[in-house]
Amino acid sequence: MTQHGFARDLRFNWLERGAGSCKLVLADSAETRSRFPFAFRLTVTYVLSKTGLDFSIEVANTGEEILPAPIGVHPAFNWPLLAALSKESYRLTFSNQERAPIRRLKDGLLRLAPESTPIVGKVLALSERLFDDDAVILDQPASRSVQYVADYGPSVEVSWNGFRELGIWSKVGGAPFLYIEPWYGSRALRSLTTNSTASRA
């Protein structure tokens, strides 16, 4: 598969459409099976409210064999949120203390050894240099939400349920965006590689 998988490149079908919500579905086909030889149904739901956007994913195994199904979301936010502020004015504040080591990437793959966390207590200071070694990956986060904030101006809160990892990323060398990405899969795939086992989705 290509980086970030195949679903993002394909057209989903409408299941429901409303003024403030929609539901879409993608099922396996000859095209998906050429890259991912498993039967599945992927349903995504968006619900817009006055206070935010809820996004949910459901992966169903429609076949008879084990379905390895790593999945994640890739939301990006302006960085900085206010043009008058520097990037270094921003931080991520987690809902809980984050003491566990982080993971980093090399050539698109997880490095074997974890690294000490740059998070101090609940706070990760943001700077372009933070991403010199690519994404900051929390593969055992204690938190289920994080606030992207500066000392003044608007802020964004991202919360998640059912995802086991969190990736934080911006382009090496600088870019006007910050990704806060809940994931499900890197631990599962490491276990699959090590133990040759996986659970049915």
CATH value at residue 198? 2.70.98.10
Domain closes at, from 67, 96, 121: 67
- The pLDDT score that the predictor gives to residue 186 is 60
Cis peptide leading into 80, omega within 30 of 0? yes
Predicted TM-score (pTM) of the model is 0.87
Segment-wise mean pLDDT, segments of 10 residues, the chain, 201 residues: 85 97 97 94 97 95 93 95 97 98 88 95 97 94 98 96 96 95 70 34 34
> Residue 171 is part of which domain span?
68-201
Dist. CA 72–CA 165, nearest whole Å = 9
20 lies in the same domain as 82: no
- The pLDDT score that the predictor gives to residue 106 is 85
112 lies in the same domain as 181: yes
What's the number of domains the chain is made of? 2
72 lies in the same domain as 164: yes
| Residues facing residue 158 across a β-bridge | 146
174 lies in the same domain as 84: yes
Between the alpha carbon of residue 179 and those of residues 37, 65, 92, 148, the distances in Å are: 29, 34, 11, 10
67 closest CA partner among 28, 39, 34, 32: 39
110 lies in the same domain as 31: no
Side chain identity at residue 181, one-letter code: E
13 lies in the same domain as 74: no
- The pLDDT score that the predictor gives to residue 187 is 52
Count of alpha carbons within 13 angstroms of residue 100, beta-carbon side: 14
The per-residue pLDDT for range 27-76, each reduced to its tens digit, is: 999 999 999 999 999 999 999 999 999 999 999 999 999 999 889 999 99
- The pLDDT score that the predictor gives to residue 114 is 95
168 lies in the same domain as 140: yes
63 lies in the same domain as 127: no
- The H-or-E segment that residue 195 falls in is helix 186-195
Dist. CA 192–CA 186, nearest whole Å = 10
185 lies in the same domain as 93: yes
193 lies in the same domain as 97: yes
60 lies in the same domain as 78: no
User: Is there a contact between 69 and 170 (Cβ–Cβ < 8 Å)?
Assistant: no
122 lies in the same domain as 169: yes
